[in-house]
């Protein structure tokens, strides 16, 4: 009998604890969620990344220019590609979605390089596994488009490449028409580049 009473008391105590925890946080949650939203809005407005103006890379604005050295040692300046549609991609060798996306990007590039469309895949070299891994990746995937190296880690943050892959579609005037976070396939690339000038 004592065991049964003790078991019932423990069950009632557990239920009371669960009830209090479910009931009290939901009341607190409403008041704290409003405060969290306000704080989040303030942090978005005031968030500052050294050397980066996050309002520069919005759709409808010209893509910020940069000059980087490519994997094959050439200098590449983004503004020199004006007159072409550009898929500007940010990636790293250790990123599984980047690995999934690259064959699609290569196939798309091979089909459209004569159509005035350029693929520029900026490697986030400062957070990647070294030049040898990048070279092996490019060879293994048979990549033939430009691979600029963001060795100092300045361009990735400027283009908000916090989740990779991140890509931007630029029109022939160098204006950002779309930002895509996550991998694309050929169909998405076709759709995003088809209707822009």
Question: What digits encode the pLDDT tens for the residues 46-99?
Answer: 344 455 555 778 999 999 999 999 999 999 999 999 999 999 999 999 999 999
pLDDT in tens, 1-18: 566 766 676 776 666 665
pLDDT in tens, 156-190: 999 999 999 999 999 999 999 999 999 999 999 99
Average pLDDT over residues 108-136: 96
* Integer Cα distance of 59 and 159 in angstroms: 12
Whole-number pLDDT of residue 56: 79
Confidence of residue 104 (pLDDT cuts 50, 70, 90): very high
pLDDT in tens, 13-60: 666 665 556 654 444 444 444 443 344 333 333 344 455 555 778 999
Instruction: Quickly count: other Cβ atoms within 10 Å of residue 23's Cβ.
Output: 10
* Integer Cα distance of 2 and 136 in angstroms: 71
Whole-number pLDDT of residue 57: 87
Residues 6 or more apart whose CB falls under 8 angstroms from that of 31 comprise none
Q: Say if residue 165 is preceded by a cis peptide, omega within 30 of 0.
A: yes
Whole-number pLDDT of residue 97: 97
Q: Nearest 5°: phi and psi at 85?
A: -75, 145
Whole-number pLDDT of residue 148: 98
Helices (H), 47-161: 96-112, 131-141, 155-158
């Amino acid at each position: 009998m004592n065991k049964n009473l003790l078991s019932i008391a423990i069950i009632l105590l557990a239920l009371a604890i669960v009830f209090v925890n479910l009931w009290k946080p939901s009341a607190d949650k409403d008041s704290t969620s409003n405060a969290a939203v306000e704080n989040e809005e303030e942090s978005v407005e005031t968030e500052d990344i050294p050397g980066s103006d996050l309002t520069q890379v919005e759709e409808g604005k010209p893509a910020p220019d940069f000059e980087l050295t490519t994997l094959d040692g050439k200098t590449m300046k983004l503004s020199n590609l004006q007159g072409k549609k550009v898929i500007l991609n940010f990636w790293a060798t250790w990123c599984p979605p980047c690995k999934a996306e690259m064959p699609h990007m290569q196939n798309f590039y091979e089909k459209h390089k004569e159509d005035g469309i350029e693929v520029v895949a900026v490697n986030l070299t400062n957070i990647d596994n070294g030049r040898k891994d990048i070279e092996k990746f490019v060879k293994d995937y048979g990549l033939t488009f430009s691979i600029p190296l963001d060795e100092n880690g300045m361009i990735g943050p400027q283009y908000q490449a916090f989740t990779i892959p991140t890509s931007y579609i630029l029109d022939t005037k160098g204006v950002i028409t779309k930002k895509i976070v996550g991998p694309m396939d050929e169909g998405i690339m076709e759709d995003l580049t088809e209707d822009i000038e």
